[in-house]
Amino acid sequence: MESDAKNFSVSSRLECDDSLAASSNTQPTTIIQEDGVVWYLSDFLSPSESDRLLAQSLAEIPWTQDNIRIFGRSVPVPRLSAWFSSVNATYKYSGLVHQPKPKPEFLAKLLSVVVARTGFDFNSVLVNLYRDGSDSMGWHADDEPELGSEVTIASLNVGTRRVIRFKHRHKKELRMALPVAHGSLLMMYAPLQEFWLHEVPKCKDISTPRVNFSFRTMRSS
Q: What is the pLDDT of residues 178-221, one digit of tens each?
A: 999 999 999 999 999 999 999 999 999 999 999 999 999 998 65
For residue 29, pLDDT over 60 is answered with yes
Could you tell me the pLDDT band of residue 1, with boundaries at 50, 70 and 90?
very low
Among the residue ranges 53-62, 72-81, 207-216, the one predicted with the least confidence is 72-81
CA distance linking residue 168 with residue 34, whole number of Å: 9
| Per-residue model confidence (pLDDT) at position 11 | 41
Of all helices (H) and strands (E), which one includes residue 107?
A: helix 105-118
Classify 194 as helix, strand or coil: helix
CA distance linking residue 184 with residue 42, whole number of Å: 4
| Per-residue model confidence (pLDDT) at position 71 | 74
- Is the separation of the CB atoms in 164 and 194 below 8 Å? no
Task: Calculate mean pLDDT across residues 117-134.
Answer: 97
CA distance linking residue 182 with residue 216, whole number of Å: 20
For residue 17, pLDDT over 60 is answered with no
Beta bridge partner(s), residue 162: 180
CA distance linking residue 182 with residue 49, whole number of Å: 10
What are the tens digits of pLDDT across the range 78-116?
A: 999 999 999 999 988 777 888 999 999 999 999 999 999
CA distance linking residue 161 with residue 22, whole number of Å: 9
DSSP state of 24: P
Closest CA to 44 of 103, 110, 104: 110
CA distance linking residue 66 with residue 168, whole number of Å: 28
CA distance linking residue 179 with residue 165, whole number of Å: 9
For residue 174, pLDDT over 70 is answered with yes
DSSP 123-157: -EEEEEEE-STT--EEEE----GGG-SS--EEEEE
- Is the separation of the CB atoms in 199 and 165 below 8 Å? yes
* Mean pLDDT computed over every residue of the chain: 87
Beta bridge partner(s), residue 178: 164
- Is the separation of the CB atoms in 63 and 129 below 8 Å? yes
Q: Give me the count of residues in the chain.
A: 221
Name which CATH class applies to 29-216: mainly beta
